[in-house]
Amino acid sequence: MTIRTVATLVLDGLAVFEFGVICEVFGIDRSADGVPNFDFKVCGPEPGKPLRTSVGATIIPDHGLDDLVGADLVAIPAIGGSEYLPEALEAIRRAADSGSIILTVCSGAFVAGAAGLLDGRPCTTHWMHADELARMYPTAKVDRNVLFVDDGNLITSAGTAAGIDACLHLVRREMGSEITNKIARRMVVPPQRDGGQRQYIDQPIPVRCSERFAPHLDWILANLDKPHTVTSLARRAHMSGRTFARRFVEETGRTPMQWVTDQRVLFARRLLEETTMDIDGIADQSGFGNATLLRHHFRRIIGVTPSDYRRRFASAAAESECAATA
C-alpha cells in the first residue's frame, strides 16, 4: 500500500522528541523534493483542548480520537504513565481492526500493549523498559536487541532515535527507497542504520553472586588476557569441572566460557571507547588472541563491528589523540 493518511495519538504525558520524530517524517511538506504529502492529523481526546507534555509545555490537537480510525498509519509516540484513556485504547483497536498500520516509538509500545495489540506478537521498546514490557504483557515476544520490529501491520521501535529508523523503514517498505532517501537526506540522517540497540546498552558484570564466588570472578576479570578453560578455572577454584560449571551458572546465569567471552567483549568495548589501541592490540589485551575472533564475538554480542563501534563511541580524548598522531 501507499501511505496517504497518518494520524498520531497525543495524550497527557506526551514525550516531545518521540512525537517530533513522527512529525518530522510524516508531517512536513516535502513536495518540492518530490516526496508525496501525507494527510497528517494530530489526534487527542478533545480537539482544541491543551494536553501536558513530559517537559511542561502543552500541545493542542486539532482532531479527535475518531480520526485515528481509517488512517493508513496510526503512530503512537512515547506517552508517560501506565494507565491510558479507555476511549483512546478503543480507538486504537478500532483503527487496527479497520486495517491501519500501527507504529509505536519507544515506550509507545506500552500503549499498544494496553490496547491488546502485542499479544503473541514480536515487538520491542527502549532497552530500559523491555523487562517491564515483557512482565506486563507476558505473551508478547519482546526483542531487547533490535532498533525496531516489523510484524506487518504492527511496527514497534526501540528508544528515541530508533523511532526514526522505524519510520523510515516503513516508508521504504511501502513507498520505496527513492522517497526514503529524500526524506532522510532532508533530516540529515542515514536512511538505514545497521546494528541494534545492543550497542547502547550498559552491560555490567553480575552483582548477585555470593561472597564466596565473587573472588573467582574478580580474578578472571583481572586476567582476561590469559587463556581460560572450564578445567583450568575449576582447578584454580579447587572444584571438579562439573561442580564448577554448575555453580557458575547458578551464580551468573551464564556458562563459564559464555561469561568470559561476554566480559572480554565488554573490556574490548571500553578499550575502543577510551584508547587509540589498534584492533590487534585490543584483541590481545582482551584475551581473544586475534582480530578475527574479536570481530566475530564483538559483532555477535554488540551488533556492530569494532571499527564501527569506535567511530560512534570513541571518547573525545581518544579522538583528539588519534587526530594528533594522524
Residue 13 has a pLDDT of 95
Q: What is the mean pLDDT of residues 64-71?
A: 97
Tell me how far apart the alpha carbons of residues 147 and 164 are, in angstroms, rounded to a whole number.
10
- Say if CB 277 and CB 258 are below 8 A apart: no
Tell me: pLDDT of 325 over 50: no
H helix and E strand count, the chain: 14, 10
Tell me how far apart the alpha carbons of residues 49 and 3 are, in angstroms, rounded to a whole number.
28
| pLDDT confidence bin for 321, thresholds 50/70/90 | low
Q: What is the mean pLDDT of residues 49-55?
A: 95
Residue 28: all three cell numbers together = 512536513
Q: What is the mean pLDDT of residues 226-236?
A: 95
Residue 5: all three cell numbers together = 493518511
| pLDDT confidence bin for 227, thresholds 50/70/90 | very high
Tell me: pLDDT of 250 over 80: yes
Residue 107 has a pLDDT of 94
In DSSP notation, 167-192 reads HHHHHHHHH-HHHHHHHHHHHTS-SS
Tell me how far apart the alpha carbons of residues 228 and 260 are, in angstroms, rounded to a whole number.
8
All domains in the chain, ordered by first residue = 5-199 (3.40.50.880), 214-325 (1.10.10.60)
User: Rounded to the nearest 10 degrees, how much is the dihedral formed by the CA atoms of 227, 302, 128, 118?
Assistant: -120
Residue 300 has a pLDDT of 87
- Residue type at 279? I
In DSSP notation, 95-114 reads HHHTT-EEEE-TTHHHHHHH
DSSP state of 315: -
Q: What is the mean pLDDT of residues 221-237?
A: 94
Percent of the chain with pLDDT over 90: 67
In this predicted structure, which of 172-181, 185-194, 240-249, 296-305 has the lowest mean pLDDT?
Answer: 185-194
In this predicted structure, which of 36-50, 102-116, 182-196, 274-288 has the lowest mean pLDDT?
Answer: 182-196
Tell me: pLDDT of 311 over 80: yes
Tell me how far apart the alpha carbons of residues 216 and 245 are, in angstroms, rounded to a whole number.
12
